[in-house]
Amino acid sequence: MEEKSNEATPLRPKGDRIIDASMVSIDLSSLVEQIRQETTWKENDRNAITVFKTKGMRIVLVALHKNAEMKPHTAAGVISVQVLEGQIRFATGQQSAVFKKGQMLTLHENISHSVFAEEESVFLLTLATPGGL
């Protein structure tokens, strides 16, 4: 398997990291600390970093400031959301529920949903990418 990595950028100077290999070790605590130190976090209501990306799956670490909202959107694949810190409200057109640290949810593809941070929160988003995108 070919190893793939991301390179550092001016907005993410600590960006060098492996994002695909036969085995990828991911230190979530260090990555949470890293995205909280970045300019994007300091100047906006959120920040995120892709921690794994391969054919068929993508994993993204997302941090939201209190009262940040991800407006309604859809995902082309099945997703899971695992709350690592804080508390979020996850809503679809039919349901709304609050999730806190240690809880997770799954959602099938093409369902409109939104996320609201009831307090500063961090969650791990896993997306099954259809067709291996």
Reading the chain (133 residues) residue by residue, the pLDDT tens digits are 677 777 767 667 676 789 999 999 999 999 999 999 999 999 999 999 999 999 999 999 999 999 999 999 999 999 999 999 999 999 999 999 999 999 999 999 999 999 999 999 999 999 998 775 5
Structural domains in the chain (count): 1
The contacts of residue 103 (CB under 8 Å, 6+ apart) are 82, 83
β pairing state of 57-64 and 87-92: unpaired
User: By residue range, what is the domain housing residue 56?
Assistant: 4-132
Can you give the CATH number for the domain in which 127 is found?
A: 2.60.120.10
Which pTM was predicted? 0.92
Identify whether the C-beta of residue 103 lies closer than 8 Å to the C-beta of residue 124: no
